Chains A and B, each alone.
Chain A
Amino acid sequence: MTGRSRRDDTEDGQPLLEVRDLKVHFPTADGLVKAVDGVSFKIHRGETLGVVGESGSGKSVTFLTVMGLIGSRTARFEGEVIFKGRDLLKLPVEEMRHIRGKEMGMVFQDPMTSLHPMYRVGYQIAEAVLAHEATTKKAAWKLALNLLGKVGIPKPEEAARRYPHEFSGGMRQRAMIAMSLVLNPDLLIADEPTTALDVTVQAQILDLIDRLRTEFNAAVVIITHDLGVVAEHCDRIQVMYAGRIVETGMGRDLFYRGRHPYTWGLLQSIPRLDAGQSQRLLPIKGLPPSLIFVPPGCAFHPRCPYVMDVCRTEVPVLEPAGGPHMAACHLPMETQERIFAETVLQPT
Chain B
Amino acid sequence: MTTQTSQPSAPHRKAGVTPLLKVSGARKYFPVTRGIIFQRRVGDVKAVDDVDLEVYPGETVGLVGETGCGKTTLARVITKLHETTAGKLEFDGEDYTRYSRRQMRPLRRQMQIIFQDPYASLNPRKTVGSIIGDPYRIHSVVPKDQIKTSVQGLMERVGLNPEHYNRYPHEFSGGQRQRVGVARALALTPRLIVCDEPVSALDVSIQAQILNLLEDLQREFNLTYLFIAHDLSVVRHVSDRIVVMYLGKVAEIAPQADLYRDPKHPYTGTLLSAVPIPDPDLARARQRIILQGDVPSPIDPPKGCRFHPRCPKAQFPICATEEPQLRELAPGHAAACHFPLTGPGDLVARPLPGAEAQGPG
Contacts and interface: CB of A to CB of B under 8 A. Distances in A.
B81 interface: no
Contact of A281 (B237, B256, B281, B352): B237
Nearest to A169: B67
A296 interface: no
B66 interface: yes
A280 B212 CA distance: 7
Contact of A274 (B271, B277, B355): B277
A199 B208 contact: no
A267 B204 CA distance: 9
Contacts of A226: 276
Given A203-B288, A283-B208, A231 B294 contact: no
Interface string B198-219: 0000011111110110010000
Contacts of A319: none
A225 B232 CA distance: 16
Contact of A282 (B208, B281, B283): B208
B343 to A, nearest CB: 18
B215 A280 contact: yes
Q: Which among B209, B272, B276 has the greatest number of chain A C-beta atoms within 10 A?
A: B276
Nearest to A170: B294
Given A225-B203, A232-B283, A200 B291 contact: yes
Contacts of B35: none
B278 A270 contact: yes
Given A199-B271, A204-B290, A231-B283, A273 B277 contact: yes
A228 B277 contact: yes
Given A266-B205, A283-B208, A198 B230 contact: yes
Contacts of A269: 204-205, 207-208
Majority SS of interface residues in chain A?
A: helix
Given A152-B358, A200-B274, A266-B205, 11 more contacts: A199-B66, A199-B231, A199-B271, A200-B66, A200-B270, A200-B291, A204-B353, A280-B212, A281-B237, A282-B208, A283-B208
A150 interface: yes
B6 to A, nearest CB: 11
Contacts of A55: 174, 203
A154 B38 CA distance: 36
B278 A252 contact: no
Interface in A162-200: 168-171, 198-200
B123 to A, nearest CB: 23
Interface of B: 66-67, 173-176, 203-209, 211-212, 215, 230-234, 236-238, 256, 260, 270-272, 274-284, 288, 290-291, 293-295, 352-355, 358-359
Given A171-B294, A252-B281, A272-B233, A228 B275 contact: yes
Interface string A221-240: 00001111111110000000
Contacts of A271: 208, 211, 233-234, 236-238
A200 to B, nearest CB: 4
A251 interface: yes
21 contacts: A54-B206, A154-B358, A198-B66, A198-B67, A200-B66, A200-B270, A202-B274, A203-B276, A211-B354, A227-B204, A229-B276, A231-B276, A231-B277, A232-B276, A270-B204, A271-B238, A273-B233, A273-B260, A273-B277, A280-B212, A287-B173
A274 B359 CA distance: 33
A346 interface: no
A199 B232 contact: yes
A201 interface: yes
A150 B355 CA distance: 5
A314 interface: no
B337 to A, nearest CB: 17
Nearest 6 CB-CB pairings of A with B = A228-B276, A271-B237, A283-B208, A269-B208, A154-B358, A227-B278
